[in-house]
A = this chain, B = another copy of it.
Amino acid sequence: MQIQKARVMAGSARRLLHRNAKGHLANMLTKLRSQDVANILREMSDRDQIALFAILMREGLPLAAETLNHLEPELGTLLLQPLTSQEITEILQEMDSDDAAAFITALPEELADEVLDLMRGKQSKEVKGLLRYEEETAGRIMTPNVFALNEDVTISEAINAVQAGTDLEMVFYIYVVDDRNHLVGVVSLRQLLMVPPSTPLKKMMSTDILSVTTDTDQEEVARQVALYDLLAIPVVDRQNRLVGIITVDDVIDVIQEEATEDILHLAGVNTDDHVYTSRWQSYKKRIPWLAVNLFTLMVAAKVVAVYEGTIAALPFLAIFLPVVAGLGGNAGTQALTLTVRGLALGEISWSSGRSAVFKEALLGLGNGITIGLLAAVAGYLWIDYNWMLGLILGAAMIINLLVAGIIGSAIPLILTRLRIDPAVASSMLLTTITDAVGFFAILAMAFRFLEQ
């Protein structure tokens, strides 16, 4: 369903809800895919969302659980809040254990503990097992519900097993294990159709099998699945025992999540800040960053303070300070973003990075000369035809764009080398430097000019 269509459906749902036509509404919702119901929910106000979700609950837990599953955890937990911990538990029991684990992680700690205590049976064990792994690792996002057969099983037995499997909607590969559950091979469903039924799996399986371990970072998992065009990747423990599987649909979620993380970090936003995050939460998340930013800006402003006398003598310099600093910041951001993204996609590394810095330095110089000339002319025309001050403006621009190119491309490389996520810390560091360099370049030259 296209977004346009979701919007129309949300309109109908809203009208039915406000007319209190719950029967009609339930009738409409149960005919839709759960993803479409999720889209309708997203289009509604907070109050309507909760009312609609109550109707879904009455229609049966599976639909409510599936719908929830397609919502962002922030929005999902919002919908769970009016429910008792017993009701929440019942919904989560309907989900795959990896999805249930993700929701429990998003719940307030106390409620999460209650729900975990209330959970029963196989799923409770599975969820607790997953929660033992670190967040954002393969162990945390895998489903332990993996379809594996012993290497001595024959093709015809394997076909029977596939036919008997019920909650295995997404079987494309059959993983093959030995007697101690070590992952030894893989067979595709299609291969099953190609060989005589009495062949044991070990005779036809492929042993060149890619896997990740439970502690592999989810970003690395996604990179491997994307790189090798896989539909799923098996997860093993340190003894190479098969413990789970991560399917491509979950990998797509990870890729989108990691891209979002990089985009937000580059803008100095916390990853768990979100359009749905409550105002107070968002405030608490953004204010420390802004406070640090106030401090770094003050540091750069200190450069200006040193030259207060120069500004008093030539007050129009104040006009050009933000121009030089701003352009340096923006040109540096270009170099920075290209490098951060190149690193995230695995396109550049420490060694190939050095040539990237060299390229950005040259580019900064080239850009600086072009923009510097333009600025010099503009400055000359503006400040009463004083060619010397135009020249200072142009020269400051060249210096700042050169520095911006070098610093912008070098910061992410150095941070990666130091094992710091380059997206988090780069931009503020960059703009502090380009501000300070820009201010210093223009004011120091003007100071010399005044002296003579």
Contact = CB atoms under 8 A, between A and B. Distances in A.
A319 B301 contact: yes
Contacts of A44: 352
B248 A226 contact: no
B330 A290 contact: yes
Nearest to A355: B45
B322 A316 contact: no
B231 A331 contact: no
A353 to B, nearest CB: 9
Nearest to A305: B319
A378 B298 contact: yes
A336 interface: yes
Contact of A337 (B193, B226, B264, B331): B264
A327 B290 contact: yes
Interface residues of A, number: 115
Contacts of A276: 347
A42 B321 CA distance: 41
Q: Give how many copies assemble into the complex.
A: 2
Interface in A345-367: 345-349, 351-352, 355-356, 359, 362-363, 366-367
Interface string A297-333: 1101100110011011001111111110111001101
A386 interface: no
A326 B431 contact: yes
A293 B345 contact: no
B320 A301 contact: yes
Interface stretch (A54-62, A119-127, A252-260): A252-260
B268 A347 contact: no
A327 B255 CA distance: 31
Given A275-B356, A349-B43, A263 B262 contact: yes
Given A269-B337, A308-B316, A319-B305, A287 B370 contact: yes
A337 B267 contact: yes
Nearest to A35: B227
25 contacts: A3-B346, A43-B349, A44-B352, A70-B227, A72-B347, A256-B259, A262-B263, A263-B263, A266-B266, A267-B336, A267-B337, A269-B338, A274-B338, A275-B347, A279-B362, A286-B334, A286-B367, A287-B370, A289-B334, A290-B330, A290-B367, A294-B323, A294-B374, A308-B316, A308-B319
